[in-house]
Chains A and B, each alone.
Chain A
Amino acid sequence: MSEPVIRVEQLRKRYGSVEALRGVSFQVQEGEVFGLLGPNGAGKTTTVEILEGMRTADAGLAQVCGLDPRRGGAAFQRQIGAVLQHTALPDKLRVGEAVELFANLYGRRRNLDALLERLGLADKQRAFYDELSGGQRQRLALALALVHEPRVLFLDEPTAGLDPQVRREIYEIIEELRREGKTILLTTHYIEEAERLCDRVAIMDYGKLIALGTPAELRQRSANTTRIAVRLAQPIEDGRLRQLDGVVDCRPISDGYLLHSQRPPQTIVALVKELEALGNELQSLEISAPTLEDVFIELTGRSLRD
């Protein structure tokens, strides 16, 4: 295997009494889209910001393109592009001006019109930053990350807070970058995003990687777990459902309950009996294959949205 583009070994970081990273290790190969999936506070942003050179790790190794992010200087900065969380541009800066500004800061003169065209911002060139919608701002952030044609892209929650429709627009852009062979590290707490965009996914929780593999490999880990979504006539304590044969997890969902079972036939029989005994009624039942969400639940006993 060739030299990895991103190399992280035993990374540790502490904020006061909180251990944000407790020994994180992974590698990202050239042309790979690598996802860090986990709930808020899992340590995804800390990991990415160490790799971007914005934070210093307490211990461990972080390398991007063979460079130390803290010491790489301008040579390092030219290799990476990033979409940050918690950032903004000046309100009265126009889209076209922002892209030109960043190109100048990198000393690059690529075809900026084509870049804006590609990100669907061509007709927004004259718009001020404070006139842009959330999706447009995020597309502009992507444009600024790409302006110097970096080798590695860091996308920290690139679709957080966007409508599903707008989110899909961003996915299409990322998929195009993936086809071009860009190396991308992205963080997300959306299962859909990780499954759809990433070649490999690392699941993070409380500052540790708890699983790593392709989405298919990870799902395979849960192959013996099945999702059973049920709708009942009357509400029921989820404690009762949890005690059913084969059930490893149960949680309420919008219009019923989601069970994870390792022996679906037994679980269903037990469920029907239990309902009969309680005088409750089963209105619908849906069985589906596991997703990364189920993998996460199985590994942590919690849902990503908790």
Chain B
Amino acid sequence: MRTTWTLTKMRMRLALRNRAFLFFSLLMPLAFLFLYASLFAKGEPRAVGYLFPSVLALTVMGSFWGLSIQLVMFREHGILRRFRLTPVGPAALLASSILSNYVLTLPTVALEFVLVRAVYGVTTFGNLWGAWLFITLGIVTFAAFGLIVASLTNTMQETQVLNNAIWFLFLFFSGATLPLVFFPEWLQRLSMFLPATHLVVGLQFTLIGAVPVRSLGPEVVALVGGAALAFALSWKLFRWEPGEKISRSAKAWAAAVIIPFLLLGVWENALDARRIELQKIYRSLGERTSPLPEQR
């Protein structure tokens, strides 16, 4: 544990000295916030409140990029080799990625809450503790996903290409950029298979609907299960040296991380409850009555 924290401090220090990291983890999310709130929501507090969970989800999902690239760079430059001689195991290195992502993302998230309240006058945040839980789960889960990509790829370039491909999928089909209600039904159904959707749904329900976490069991289970599986797999696939190759069977193993989301996607589609509830939340926006959806 102490080793993990020692590594975490070093990695946060390095991240804060990296301009690209600051740009992507601080400036980009804030730019998104202003874009959504001023342009799409036209500064109208209820509309801003409705889009805010999407902005938060984007910020939180940034951990997917976060420090996984740093780990690939460490391996590529022979830095991991040096750590291999010390009493540091793969688990500590991987955990330090997640932990530093968490500590570095929280201030941005907090800043977004403050801005949305101070600049756009959003005053109700529904179930704030529930939202905090989803923020935590989101950062951890998406950071763990990033670690799998880091384990599979050999160079930073490869990592970036693969990250981009997955990132676009998350971004556009999860409701993080365009709310799901605007999608055709088949796409809405498809999005139920994406981990990012569970994060967006969790944040929307807690923040807008003030829904208690116990009604969001499937989302919590999906994110926790995904994080645990992703961490275990990236541990199994961990490589110290740039020269070490990974086998095809190991790559196939990495695909196992989609299992919980596959199961949940099937289940959600069979039940078809979330989709309808999301539409209710959206419709309530236009009504004079409470913007809160009915609780289940």
Interface majority SS (helix, strand, loop, mixed), chain B:
helix
Instruction: Return the chain B residue nearest A154 by Cβ.
Output: B85
Q: How far is the CA of A90 from the CA of B74 in the complex (A)?
A: 7
Question: Which chain B residues border A54 with CB–CB below 8 Å?
Answer: 81, 84-85, 240-241
Q: Is A88 an interface residue (CB 8 A)?
A: yes
Does chain A have a CB within 8 A of B279?
Answer: no
CB-based nearest B residue for A145: B85
User: Do B87 and A77 have beta carbons less than 8 Å apart?
Assistant: yes
User: Chain A residues with Cβ under 8 A from B255's Cβ?
Assistant: none
Q: Do residues B84 and A92 form an inter-chain contact, with CB atoms below 8 A?
A: no
Query: What band does the interface of chain B fall in when counting residues whose beta carbon is under 8 Å from A?
Result: 20 to 34
- Total interface residues on A, CB under 8 Å, equals 25
- The reply to whether B10 and A84 contact each other, CB–CB distance below 8 Å, is no
**Does B283 sit at the interface, judged by CB under 8 A?**
no
Whether B42 is near chain A, meaning CB under 8 Å from some CB there, is: no
Q: Which residue in A53, A77, A84, A104 is a CB contact (below 8 Å) of B82? A: A84
- Let me know if B14 and A90 touch, CB within 8 A: yes
B81 touching A84, Cβ below 8 Å:
yes
Interface string of A100-135 (1 = CB under 8 A from B): 011011110000000000000000000000000000
A107 touches B86 (CB 8 A): no
* A84, A89, A97: the one within 8 Å of B85 (CB): A84
Query: Which B-chain residue is minimally distant from A52 (CB atoms)?
Result: B85
Q: Is the CB of B81 within 8 A of A97?
A: no
Whether A92 contacts B87 by the Cβ 8 Å rule is: no
Q: Is the CB of B14 within 8 A of A92?
A: yes
Contact with A along B52-81 (1 / 0, CB 8 A): 000000000000000000000010011101
Question: Taking A90-B74, A107-B2 as contacts, is the C-beta distance between A97 and B13 under 8 angstroms?
Answer: yes
CB within 8 Å for A74 and B85 given contacts A88-B78, A92-B17? no
Distance in angstroms from A221 CB to nearest chain B CB is 36
Nearest CB in chain A to that of B74: its residue:
A90
Q: Check if A106 sits within 8 Å of B87, measured CB to CB.
A: yes
* Closest beta carbon of chain B to A56's beta carbon, Å: 12
Verify if A305 is at the interface (C-beta below 8 Å from B): no
CB-nearest residue of chain B to A144: B82
Chain B residues, Cβ within 8 Å of A101: 6, 10
Complex contacts, A52 vs chain B, CB 8 Å: 85
Which residues of A lie under 8 Å from residue B249 when comparing CB positions? none
CA–CA, A222 and B240, complex, Å: 44
- Cβ contacts A to B, 10 pairs, < 8 Å: A54-B241, A80-B85, A84-B78, A84-B85, A87-B79, A89-B79, A90-B14, A92-B14, A97-B13, A105-B83
A-B CB proximity, top 3 nearest: A74-B87, A92-B17, A87-B78
